[in-house]
Structure 1
Amino acid sequence: MGQTARVSAVVWTAAGSLLAWLWLLLCQGFFWRTDVRLPPRRDPDAWPSVCVVVPARDEAAVLPAALPSLLRQDYPGRAEVFLVDDGSTDGTGDLARELARGTGGLPLTVGSPGEPPAGWTGKLWAVRHGIGLARARDPEYLLLTDADIAHAPDSLRELVAAARAGGFDVVSQMARLRVESTWERFVVPAFVYFFAQLYPFRRIGREGTRTVAAAGGCVLLRTEAAERARIPDAIRHAVIDDVALARAVKRGGGRVWLGLADRVDSVRPYPRLGDLWRMVSRSAYAQLRHNPLLLAGTVAGLALVYLVPPAAVVVGLVAGNAAAAVVGGSAWIVMTGTYMPMLRYYRQPLWLAPLLPFTAFLYLLMTVDSAVRHYQGRGAAWKGRTYARPDAVADEG
Structure 2
Amino acid sequence: MSVGTWTAAASLAAWLWLLLGQGRFWRTDVRLPRRAEPERWPSVAIVVPARDEADVLPLSLPSLLGQKYPGRAEVFLIDDGSRDGTGEVARSLAAERSGGLPLTVDSPGAPEAGWTGKLWAVRHGIALARARTDAEYLLLTDADIAHGPDSLRELVSSARGARLDMVSQMARLSASRGWERLLVPAFVYFFAQLYPFRWVNRPHGRTAAAAGGCVLLRTDAAERARLPESIRGAVIDDVTLARAVKRTGSGRIWLGLSGHVTSVRPYGGLGELWRMVARSAYAQLRHHPLLLLVTVAGLVLVYLVPPAAAVAGAAFGTPGTAVAGGLAWAVMTATYVPMTRYYRQPWWLALTLPVTAAFYLLMTVDSAVRHHQGRGAAWKGRTYS
- Please state which band the TM-score falls in when normalised by the shorter chain: over 0.9
Kindly report which structure 2 residues correspond to 1:116-135, keeping only aligned pairs within 5 A, or say none. Answer: 116-135=111-130
Q: Does residue 1:363 correspond to 2:344, yes or no?
A: no
Q: TM-score, normalised by structure 1?
A: 0.95
Kindly report which structure 2 residues correspond to 1:196-235, keeping only aligned pairs within 5 A, or say none. Answer: 196-235=192-231
Query: Which AA in structure 1 matches 2:181?
Result: R
Match of 1:51 in 2: 45
- Which moves more between the two structures, 40-49 or 78-87? 40-49
Contact 2:35/2:162, CA 8 A, preserved across alignment: no
Measured in 2, the distance between the counterparts of 1:383 and 1:232 equals: 21
Match of 1:100 in 2: 94
Measured in 2, the distance between the counterparts of 1:150 and 1:195 equals: 21
Matched position secondary structure for 2:139: strand
Match of 2:189 in 1: 193
Match of 1:78 in 2: 72
Contact 2:34/2:161, CA 8 A, preserved across alignment: no
Measured in 2, the distance between the counterparts of 1:301 and 1:178 equals: 28
Contact 2:34/2:162, CA 8 A, preserved across alignment: no
Query: Which AA in structure 2 matches 1:336?
Result: T
1:316 to 313, 316, 326: 313
Match of 2:304 in 1: 307
Query: Which AA in structure 2 matches 1:322?
Result: P
Return the offset for 1:314.
1.6
Aligned-residue RMSD, C-alpha:
0.8
Measured in 1, the distance between the counterparts of 2:253 and 2:293 equals: 31
2:143 to 143, 147, 151: 147
Kindly report which structure 2 residues correspond to 1:29-68, keeping only aligned pairs within 5 A, or say none. Answer: 29-39=23-33, 41-68=35-62
Return the offset for 1:103.
1.5
Return the offset for 1:52.
0.1
Query: Which AA in structure 2 matches 1:143?
Result: L
5+ residue gaps, structure 2: none
Q: Does residue 1:236 correspond to 2:235, yes or no?
A: no
Contact 2:26/2:336, CA 8 A, preserved across alignment: yes
Matched position secondary structure for 2:286: coil
Match of 1:392 in 2: none
Return the offset for 1:135.
0.3
Matched position secondary structure for 2:84: coil
| Cα gap change, 1:207 to 1:39, in 2 (>3 Å) | closer
Kindly report which structure 2 residues correspond to 1:322-333, keeping only aligned pairs within 5 A, or say none. Answer: 322-333=319-330
Query: Which AA in structure 2 matches 1:97?
Result: R
Deviation string 1:350-373 (CA, Å, 9 cap, x unpaired) is: 111011000000000000000000
Measured in 2, the distance between the counterparts of 1:39 and 1:134 equals: 27
- Which moves more between the two structures, 316-325 or 375-384? 316-325
Q: Does residue 1:9 correspond to 2:3, yes or no?
A: yes
Query: Which AA in structure 1 matches 2:174?
Result: R
Deviation string 1:134-171 (CA, Å, 9 cap, x unpaired) is: 00202000000000000000000000000001111110
Return the offset for 1:40.
5.3
Measured in 2, the distance between the counterparts of 1:271 and 1:384 equals: 18
Q: Does residue 1:342 correspond to 2:327, yes or no?
A: no
Matched position secondary structure for 1:81: strand
Match of 1:386 in 2: 383
5+ residue gaps, structure 1: 390-397
Matched position secondary structure for 1:263: strand
Matched position secondary structure for 2:75: strand
Measured in 1, the distance between the counterparts of 2:134 and 2:41 equals: 14
Matched position secondary structure for 1:221: strand
Matched position secondary structure for 1:45: coil
Instruction: Indicate the percent of aligned positions where both proteins have the same amino acid.
Output: 74
Contact 2:12/2:328, CA 8 A, preserved across alignment: yes
Measured in 1, the distance between the counterparts of 2:62 and 2:208 equals: 31
Match of 1:297 in 2: 294
Matched position secondary structure for 1:259: strand
Matched position secondary structure for 1:355: helix
Matched position secondary structure for 1:93: helix
Return the offset for 1:318.
1.7
- Which moves more between the two structures, 315-324 or 89-98? 315-324
Matched position secondary structure for 1:354: helix
Measured in 1, the distance between the counterparts of 2:291 and 2:312 equals: 29
Query: Which AA in structure 2 matches 1:360?
Result: A
Match of 2:104 in 1: 109
Measured in 2, the distance between the counterparts of 1:203 and 1:167 equals: 17
Measured in 2, the distance between the counterparts of 1:201 and 1:50 equals: 25
Query: Which AA in structure 1 matches 2:280?
Result: S
Match of 1:393 in 2: none
Measured in 2, the distance between the counterparts of 1:369 and 1:83 equals: 33
Query: Which AA in structure 2 matches 1:176?
Result: R
Measured in 1, the distance between the counterparts of 2:38 and 2:10 equals: 50
Measured in 1, the distance between the counterparts of 2:36 and 2:375 equals: 48
Q: TM-score, normalised by structure 2?
A: 0.98
Measured in 2, the distance between the counterparts of 1:134 and 1:338 equals: 43
Measured in 1, the distance between the counterparts of 2:204 and 2:43 equals: 29
Measured in 1, the distance between the counterparts of 2:297 and 2:322 equals: 21
Measured in 2, the distance between the counterparts of 1:90 and 1:249 equals: 34
